[in-house]
A and B are shown apart, each in its own frame.
Chain A
Amino acid sequence: MDMTSSAQASVRIKGSMTSVACIQLTGMDEQQLYLLQDKLDDFIDNAPALIRGMPVILEMSNCHLDGRVFAGIVSLVRRVGANPFAVRGCPEYQDLYEAQGVSYLGDQLDTQRRVAPLKPEPSVSQEPVIIETQIANEALIITTPVRSGQQIYARQRDLIIISNVSNGAEVMSDGSIHVYGALRGRAMAGVTGNENARIFCSSMDAELLLIDGDYLIRDSIPEHVLHKPCQTFKRDQKMIIDLL
């Protein structure tokens, strides 16, 4: 087996609530299918709402596919409840995509470009969802507690919460998230592809911290920042939490 290809293989999942999710598959081949499976399992454990029912674009580069391998990819993604409807990249396998009923969108990979929503509002849950669209680039300011089961999404702007975010609540933003209170729920910043987004809070107790596809779960948040004011950001695709 070609060792270099396995070292370079990677899977990145970039989710967002209201547009489409992107799964970037690099160096994928039959041997690397397990990598996708692990990543998806991880993701579904930690951020199920983000991917369930989502239209997904598979972004392929340097993949070695045959009909079975591609069918495997599609079924792994479907298994977690997402809908892989299209592929970008690796034009040589166009026929394989079409055989699986997946559209081919060309081979221009552009992770920074926003993808237009396919349907207006996929309903991922029956919980109360507050979705704010952009008026100016002003931040969305929430002054009341965000309760378990509630979701707040600040589209194309920062989200400022002057209260607590409960366990079981989800706050999302295309920009940064500022919580002037205890952050006990899930916070997802830069969800449509902004790796410079940050998450600030007055008391860190989060269930999940996610910035542009990378995340930390509760167990991987270092002890010394718990219940302290801090900020979370990304450097070289690594999640970093600093005390403020």
Chain B
Amino acid sequence: MSKGKVFVVTSGKGGVGKTTTSASVAAGLALAGKKTVVIDFDVGLRNLDLILGCERKVVFDFIQALKKECKLNQAIIHVKQISDNLYMIPASQTRDKDHLTHEGVKEIISQLAEEFDYVICDSPAGIEKGAKMAMYFADEAIVVTNPEISSVRDSDRILGFLDSSTRLAEEEGKRIPQHLLITRYSPDRVESGEMLSIQDIDDILSIPLVGVIPESRVVLDSSNQGKPVVLNSQDPAGQAYEDVIKRLLGDDVPMRFTEIEKKSFLGRLFGGR
């Protein structure tokens, strides 16, 4: 019997790109033929449904499914316009996090893992209940970090919790595989010393790197249009997320967008990108 893989996308700090990453990773896996569901754990700050362009289809939410006020299937939205393989469960905007219980979350995640190849949990910021619940049942973690010291320190802290506070750690004494994803990377600003380099971040966190997503204005536009940036294969951020999907699926592809790009003659002439 095949059991799906549960990923948590987490960071400690808010606003670093967890939801952007969850949406793009889920969409990318679905487009690669994997049946995927992504859960928004950010109770009170719903926005994954916006990025996936399905905010108008929200009827029931994660907490309602948890409290059995609806069937699990009723809370799952089919995100057909992106891929036949993509599904999501929205967060509740109103109900408070006290309804997140271990038993409830466990039941839902294990049901989903039966039915889907991948279950992606988009963690809220912080190290409180919501974040802990999102990581508890994970088989693997994607730790999202921006190249700045406060974000890296928060990730370090989250890695400490990932070592000790997951089901696999508590019950089997195992640490789940941890993947580092650096987002909003800008080689120019690293060169000028405004941002930490990949090497600096690795010195502190020392976990395997699954990708480096460059800073790109297209990310915000894509989110606003309800199309995760991974769908945009022209944009470097979209391409970098495509590479991440390949690596998660076991392909060894080289890192891109980590060096300063030499502008073409015309690019320099017209100052464009």
Q: Which 5 A-B pairs have the closest CB atoms?
A: A147-B160, A148-B157, A128-B164, A148-B156, A150-B160
- Given the interface pairs A164-B206, A166-B204, A182-B203, the reply to whether A148 lies near B153 with Cβ below 8 Å is yes
A53 adjacent to chain B (CB < 8 Å): no
Chain B positions 96-129 with a Cβ under 8 Å from a chain A Cβ = 127
Interface size on B, residues (CB 8 A): 15
Contact between B203 and A168, CB atoms less than 8 A apart:
no
Q: Which residues of B contact A (CB under 8 A)?
A: 127, 153, 156-157, 159-161, 163-165, 175, 203-206
Chain A positions 117-165 with a Cβ under 8 Å from a chain B Cβ = 127-128, 130, 144-150, 163-164
Closest to B159 in A: A147
Q: Which residues of A contact B157 (CB under 8 A)?
A: 147-149, 168
Contact between A128 and B161, CB atoms less than 8 A apart:
yes
Alpha-carbon gap, A182 to B205, bound state (A): 12
Q: Which residues of A contact B165 (CB under 8 A)?
A: 128
Number of A-B contacts (CB under 8 A): 43
A5 adjacent to chain B (CB < 8 Å): no
Q: Which residues of B contact A146 (CB under 8 A)?
A: 160
Alpha-carbon gap, A100 to B156, bound state (A): 44
Contact between B163 and A167, CB atoms less than 8 A apart:
no
- 12 residue pairs bridging A and B, Cβ less than 8 Å apart: A127-B160, A128-B163, A128-B164, A128-B165, A130-B164, A145-B159, A147-B156, A147-B159, A149-B127, A164-B204, A164-B206, A168-B157
Closest to A127 in B: B160
> What's the interface size class on A, roughly?
10 to 19
Q: Which residues of A contact B (CB under 8 A)?
A: 127-128, 130, 144-150, 163-164, 166-169, 182, 184
Q: Which residues of A contact B205 (CB under 8 A)?
A: 145
Contact between B153 and A168, CB atoms less than 8 A apart:
yes
Closest to A144 in B: B163
Closest to A203 in B: B203
Q: Which residues of A contact B203 (CB under 8 A)?
A: 182
Q: Give min CB distance, B179 to chain A, whole Å.
A: 15
Contact between B206 and A147, CB atoms less than 8 A apart:
no
Alpha-carbon gap, A196 to B267, bound state (A): 65
Q: Give min CB distance, B106 to chain A, whole Å.
A: 21
Alpha-carbon gap, A184 to B157, bound state (A): 14
Alpha-carbon gap, A230 to B165, bound state (A): 34
Alpha-carbon gap, A78 to B165, bound state (A): 33
Q: Given contacts A128-B160, A150-B160, A184-B204, could you give 9 more A-B pairs where the C-beta distance is less than 8 Å?
A: A145-B159, A147-B156, A148-B153, A150-B163, A164-B206, A167-B156, A168-B153, A168-B157, A182-B203
